[in-house]
A and B are shown apart, each in its own frame.
Chain A
Amino acid sequence: MWARSSAWRPSAPVTEVFNEVDGRVKWDDTTAVTGGGVAVSADTEDVDLVGAAIVENLGRVALFAALMGAFAYVSFPNPFSPAPVTLQVLGVFLAGLFLGPVWGSVSIGLYLAAGAVGAPVFSGGSAGLAPLVGSTAGYLWSYPVAAFVVGAVVHGGLSVGDPREAGVVRLVGAMVGGTVVVYAMGVAGLMLVLGLGPVAAFTAGAAAFVPAEAFKIAAAVGIVRSDAFVAK
């Protein structure tokens, strides 16, 4: 680190301080201040590269969020009810299972943020701030919580391990817990936003959809325990 005095400016004394990092000369406003000179903003003077570990996490987490959005476009006929089965809740389970509680909920948070600013990722290709305060609000806000619950139960804490090491009972229990979170918050959202009573809210918002969750849980257990996809 070295200091260099520069041309006179009105607010003298002026000393611009440079900081050498990894062979690059980088402006550093903290050293500029401590050096007794005028602080120079570091923001536009140099390219601040994103670290390799963060780029790898970001790619995985953001692509998982995009997959969650793509699941809104996949629906299967439901044998129990006229409402088709979409895979959104399965996306929440998988985020908790494969990314763990912290990155899983970050991923679902990215999904919500992208939808809020206009990516058509919510059910039926919907987007915007309104789904986050409208009739779907409870479900959407429950997703990051449910991903956290699933991840925390399966991995037994905040760290991420191999989900295949968890037993079937633990996997199913975690996802049943996640389902309870999603539908409890979803029904509460319907009661708050649409002014429904608990019975009407449960009938309209959960009764037709809950049985299909069993298929998603079965599918998720199948995915975790098969070798077709192994999380790295």
Chain B
Amino acid sequence: MLSYEPGTTLAHALDPRTKLAFQAGFAVAAFAYTTPRGLAALSVLALAALAAARRSPLAAASDLRFVFPILLAAPLFEGLVVGPPWFSLAQARFPALASYRVVLLLFVSAAYVYTTSARDSRAAIQWLVPGRSGRFLGLGVAVVFRFLPVLVADLQRARAAMRARLGTERSLAERIRIVTTAGLRRVDARADALSLALQARCVAWNPTLPRLAVGWRDAPVLALALVLAASPLL
């Protein structure tokens, strides 16, 4: 599971908007240069992003392991041909490069997730999307961050209760229905309590968020993001 951890690395010190811009620029460059040379250069950047967050690529790969089956399967399926020699390297080449490109994209965005707190992300969202829609989005995102672990625990409790009552003997659709109904009822109760609590504490359209500031460290990263975003035109 990917999640934020407090720290004092270079990536932690960067402005969240800088990190978002770098991810966007990196994605543009990765789609424009899906060639062995292009991806080799981008690999260096992706590893540098993880190094700036003081994370090893192996740790990141282990956090992202669920995506690997499809990335491995893609070139294998595409390379299959009917009749001998049964597998075509030429056909599997581009999907293999494209799968590798996705791994690099995942590494760069993992570096963001490891080093950016929910409050900083919220401030970046509200800077990016102006007006009340941005504030609504920011508030909603903050609620999702806060309630995700709570609802995961609710669903786990529902499953444990179902197992204890021999629910595992029921059909799959029945089991899904039981767990989901429990989740929905918890959501309903929590939504009522949450909106009451928010109103009691005077939830406002203009809350105090961390003040974002682009510092001297951001300048080279922002420049690099711009170069990457403009790279297809080079």
B110 proximal to A (CB < 8 A): yes
Q: B180 to A219, Cβ gap below 8 A?
A: yes
Chain B minimum-CB-distance residue to A45: B206
Q: B206 to A130, Cβ gap below 8 A?
A: no
Within B86-128, which residues are at the interface with A (CB < 8 Å)?
Answer: 94-95, 97-99, 102, 105-106, 108-110, 112-113, 116, 118, 121-122, 124-125
Q: B67 to A62, Cβ gap below 8 A?
A: no
How would residues 203 to 232 of chain A score, 1 for a CB under 8 Å from any chain B CB and 0 otherwise?
111000000000110111011001011001
- A6 proximity list for chain B (CB < 8 A): none
Given the complex of chains A and B, what is the CA–CA distance between A185 and B23 in angstroms?
23
Q: A55 to B1, Cβ gap below 8 A?
A: no
- B191 proximity list for chain A (CB < 8 A): 56, 59-60, 63
A40 proximal to B (CB < 8 A): no
Q: CB < 8 Å: which of A66, A118, A190 contacts B74? A: A190
- B148 proximity list for chain A (CB < 8 A): 66, 69-70, 114, 119-121
A134 proximal to B (CB < 8 A): yes
Q: A135 to B140, Cβ gap below 8 A?
A: no
- A197 proximity list for chain B (CB < 8 A): 78
A14 to chain B, nearest CB (A): 25
Chain A minimum-CB-distance residue to B72: A204
B151 proximal to A (CB < 8 A): yes
Q: B20 to A59, Cβ gap below 8 A?
A: no
B35 proximal to A (CB < 8 A): no
- B172 proximity list for chain A (CB < 8 A): 76, 79, 85, 215
The binding surface of chain B is classed by DSSP as helix
A25 proximal to B (CB < 8 A): no
Q: A216 to B23, Cβ gap below 8 A?
A: no
Q: B140 to A125, Cβ gap below 8 A?
A: no
Q: B199 to A204, Cβ gap below 8 A?
A: no
A48 to chain B, nearest CB (A): 4
Q: B206 to A43, Cβ gap below 8 A?
A: yes
A123 proximal to B (CB < 8 A): yes
Chain B minimum-CB-distance residue to A125: B1
- B80 proximity list for chain A (CB < 8 A): 200
Q: B102 to A73, Cβ gap below 8 A?
A: no
A171 proximal to B (CB < 8 A): no
How would residues 159 to 189 of chain A score, 1 for a CB under 8 Å from any chain B CB and 0 otherwise?
0000000000000000000000000000000
- A52 proximity list for chain B (CB < 8 A): 195, 199
Interface size on B, residues (CB 8 A): 84
A67 proximal to B (CB < 8 A): yes
Q: A203 to B77, Cβ gap below 8 A?
A: yes
- A222 proximity list for chain B (CB < 8 A): 173-174, 177
- A65 proximity list for chain B (CB < 8 A): 140, 143-144
Q: CB < 8 Å: which of A60, A70, A136, A226 contacts B151? A: A70
Q: CB < 8 Å: which of A58, A90, A131, A196 contacts B143? A: A58
Given the complex of chains A and B, what is the CA–CA distance between A113 and B142 in angstroms?
10
Q: B141 to A114, Cβ gap below 8 A?
A: yes
A154 proximal to B (CB < 8 A): no
Q: B98 to A194, Cβ gap below 8 A?
A: yes
Chain B minimum-CB-distance residue to A56: B195
A210 to chain B, nearest CB (A): 15
Q: A127 to B204, Cβ gap below 8 A?
A: no
Do A119 and B27 contact each other (CB < 8 Å), given the known contacts A127-B2, A133-B105, A200-B77?
Answer: no
Residues of B within 8 A of A (CB): 1-4, 20, 23-24, 27, 31, 63-67, 70-71, 73-74, 77-78, 80, 94-95, 97-99, 102, 105-106, 108-110, 112-113, 116, 118, 121-122, 124-125, 136-137, 139-141, 143-148, 150-152, 154-156, 159, 172-177, 179-181, 183-185, 187-188, 190-192, 194-195, 198-199, 202-206
The 7 A-B residue pairs with the shortest CB-CB distance, nearest first, are A124-B66, A128-B109, A125-B1, A62-B143, A117-B121, A130-B109, A114-B144
